């Protein structure tokens, strides 16, 4: 699948996407370039990146870029399965092969036949299973637990981890030979904090999705936009998405993010002090004025007369400014 340009209701760069994986930053353009290269091949891919940075979405995009796209895409979290059950989950079992195996069960390697299997948190897999996995990757054959005939699998494996794989090898948690087998093609998802304008693009995208679902026209306040820039997003895109959704639910028309972000006290602390607005040195005068006007309106709960009085301008001037903002937003949307 080729990358496509989508237009979103934002005034920055056009957003680019592979599947549902979005981004316009240079860091994400590099990820898209790698995915477009490796997608159509059969190479194993090792996705690394902090939690919530989009590894599963990237794996889906690789699947969508491949000739296997009509086949299944399955993801299994190796860290979430008890050690005693992981073999059965991966390779399946025959009826009667152990107590409780009342019927035969196909494992994920069988169910992903013709498609792609994502082994998430691969470093959490017990070492003896890593040995089995390596053998399967090399021979493309495995036995269901309790079976006597081999299953020949046609599955592309993508692995993901939010740990440093080399450190996992050094600490004895990941077999070195498995790492090199999995990491034929490594792709590192950058943390959201190093994706610059993508934070706002993604926030607008998630908001647009919510607006479409709810048939609403809610929008981000200028204060919320500043919060987006100032927060470091330790939970990455997942944190951003959840934050926008919470703010959307709470808002009548204008979304506030600062009260929802723990530790966002740097900059705008609207939770405790709605009277303060920190402006970064070097901000554009136009942006600063807009932030101040919107924050003041928020503070006076939308009462324009009181906001205009506090701002020291006429009500007419305030209306003119607000009209100007909504017109520039409409231009950006069109």
Ligand X SMILES: Nc1ncnc2c1ncn2[C@@H]1O[C@H](COP(=O)(O)OP(=O)(O)OP(=O)(O)O)[C@@H](O)[C@H]1O
Site residues (vs ligand X, CB under 6 A)? 20-23, 49, 51-57, 120, 162, 202, 237-238, 241
DSSP structure string for 84-108: GGHHHHHH-B-TTSSTT--S-B--H
Binding partner of residue 49 among Mg ion, ligand X, none, CB under 5 to 8 Å per kind? ligand X
Q: How far is the CB of 57 from ligand X (least distance, A)?
A: 4
Contact indicator for 76, 89 with CB cutoff of 8 Å: yes
Binding partner of residue 53 among Mg ion, ligand X, none, CB under 5 to 8 Å per kind? ligand X
Please provide the distance, in angstroms rounded to a whole number, between the alpha carbons at the two ends of the chain: 27
Between 97 and 211, name the residue whose CB sits nearer to ligand X.
211
Between 144 and 156, name the residue whose CB sits nearer to Mg ion.
156
Q: How far is the CB of 212 from ligand X (least distance, A)?
A: 15
Contact indicator for 135, 176 with CB cutoff of 8 Å: no
Q: How far is the CB of 51 from Mg ion (least distance, A)?
A: 8
Q: How far is the CB of 70 from Mg ion (least distance, A)?
A: 23
Q: From CA 183, how far away is CA 42, in angstroms rounded?
A: 13
| The dihedral formed by the CA atoms of 169, 38, 18 and 234, expressed in degrees to the nearest 10 | 10
Binding partner of residue 190 among Mg ion, ligand X, none, CB under 5 to 8 Å per kind? none
Subset of residues 111 to 130 that bind Mg ion, contact rule: CB under 5 A: 120
* One residue of 50, 56, 198, 298 binding Mg ion per CB under 5 A: 56
Q: From CA 334, how far away is CA 331, in angstroms rounded?
A: 5
| Interface stretch with Mg ion, choices 5-13, 23-31, 52-60, 273-281 (CB under 5 A) | 52-60
Residue at shortest CB range from ligand X: 54
Calculate ∠ Cα 53-164-230, nearest 5°: 40
Contact indicator for 89, 117 with CB cutoff of 8 Å: no
Q: How far is the CB of 245 from ligand X (least distance, A)?
A: 10
């Amino acid at each position: 699948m080729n990358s496509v340009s989508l237009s979103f209701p934002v005034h920055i760069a056009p957003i680019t996407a592979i599947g549902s994986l979005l981004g316009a930053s240079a860091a994400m353009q590099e990820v898209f370039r790698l995915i477009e290269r490796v997608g159509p091949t059969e190479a194993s891919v090792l996705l690394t990146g902090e939690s919530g940075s989009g590894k599963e979405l990237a794996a889906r995009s690789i699947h969508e870029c491949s000739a296997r796209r009509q086949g299944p895409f399955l993801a299994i979290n190796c860290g979430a399965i008890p050690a005693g059950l992981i073999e059965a989950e991966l390779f399946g079992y025959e009826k009667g092969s152990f107590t409780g195996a009342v019927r035969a069960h196909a494992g994920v390697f069988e169910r992903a036949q013709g498609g792609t299997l994502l082994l998430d948190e691969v470093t959490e897999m017990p070492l003896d299973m890593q040995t089995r996995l390596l053998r399967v990757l090399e021979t493309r054959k495995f036995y269901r637990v309790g079976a006597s005939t081999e299953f020949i699998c046609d599955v592309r494996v993508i692995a993901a981890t939010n740990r440093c794989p080399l450190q996992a090898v050094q600490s004895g948690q990941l077999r070195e030979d498995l790492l090199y087998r999995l990491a034929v093609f490594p792709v590192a998802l950058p943390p959201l904090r190093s994706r610059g304008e993508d934070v706002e693009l993604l926030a607008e995208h998630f908001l647009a999705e919510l607006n479409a679902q709810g048939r609403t026209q809610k929008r981000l306040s200028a204060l919320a936009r500043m919060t987006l820039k100032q927060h470091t997003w330790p939970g990455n895109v997942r944190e951003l998405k959840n934050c926008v959704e919470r703010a959307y639910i709470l808002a009548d028309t204008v979304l506030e993010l600062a009260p929802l972000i723990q530790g966002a006290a740097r900059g705008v602390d609207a939770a405790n002090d709605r009277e303060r607005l920190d402006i970064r040195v070097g901000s554009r005068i136009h942006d600063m004025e807009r932030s101040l006007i919107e924050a003041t309106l928020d503070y006076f709960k939308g009462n324009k007369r009181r906001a205009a009085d506090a701002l020291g301008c006429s009500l007419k001037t305030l209306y003119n400014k607000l009209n100007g903002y909504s017109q520039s937003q409409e231009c950006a949307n069109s």
